[in-house]
Amino acid sequence: MTDKNSEYPTPAQNNKHKPMALPEGATKPMEIQQLNLNTVILQLDDDFGRTSASVISHINALLLEHFGQRIINTVPAYRSLLIEFSLQHHAMAASTAELEQQVRAALSHFQADTAERRIVEIPVYYHPSVGDDLEQIMESKNISLAQLIELHTRIQYQVQAVGFIPGFAYLGNLEPALQVSRLARPRATVAKGSIAIAEQQTAVYPRATPGGWNIIGRTPIDVFHITAEGEIAHAFELGDTVQFRSISEADFFALGGRLGQSGQNDRYSQRDESLKP
């Protein structure tokens, strides 16, 4: 996914059935708890492990299709799904019973090993001009830029949750050798497209916003935007697989990348040769 003008799937396009069996030993697959008059939360059992996000994504798509306008909002996360029913259309007792029936039906034919998983490739320019914390991390970890890039790009990540701001995906799990704490004092502004790490996770900032994660690079592509038709288009869906790919300065600019949007590290010129992988 290197074309800056690529159209990402809208939620309607993403909510397709994905033939995905319960993991062995999953004797208590879920719990449904009522939060208020028209809202419930579904919690998966720990037995699902790394497949949890894919299971939640699968259930979410099926429930939205089945209940239609009776559901006005869902919030999928790594091991949970919050479901808000319409007050106009719902009777909570009946809806909860129907919900449990539909979820169990979805779980009965979830096949994790045969799931058709979307792989999202994100091109990244790793350099201090766009990575405010790159040098500090390299020093604290006693690694070179090439080693940092290798650690960040050699594994595939899973979208474990989407939240914080629209389009912000929590990706895990980061290599232990690259894990760092969040910043003690969050920045007032983190540039759009910034690639960040904190503890066990990594992420892409979909727009300029305050943030407390460590910035190690930037992608030139838009991972979240509104289409001409008013649809929300975004790169990441719960359960997706994400692969980062290192690109050169020339490719970064060719794909529309920009420097200095965060107001930091402007001392680096586009021709700085001092830090190369």
Q: Return the pLDDT at 50.
A: 61
pLDDT of res. 114: 44
Residue 227 confidence (pLDDT): 72
DSSP string over 166-223: TT-EEEE---GGG--PPPSS-EEEE-TTEEEEETTEEEE-SSSEEE-SEEEEE-SS-S
- Full pLDDT tens readout for the chain, 277 residues: 444 444 444 333 443 333 333 444 444 467 888 888 888 888 887 656 666 777 887 788 888 888 888 888 888 877 888 888 888 765 665 667 788 888 877 777 665 544 556 889 999 999 999 999 999 999 999 999 999 999 999 999 988 888 778 889 999 889 999 999 999 999 999 999 999 999 999 999 999 999 999 999 999 999 987 777 776 667 888 778 999 999 999 999 999 998 876 434 443 434 344 444 4
Measure CA 146 to chain center: 25
Beta bridge partners of 122: 244
- Sole residue written with tokens 């004092």: 185
* pLDDT of the residue at 174: 94
Cis preceding-peptide flag for 173 (omega within 30 of 0): yes
pTM: 0.68
- Identify the pLDDT of residue 265: 40
Distance (Å, whole) CA 195 – CA 271: 21
User: Contact, 148 vs 126, CB < 8 A?
Assistant: yes
Task: State the pLDDT at residue 39.
Answer: 87
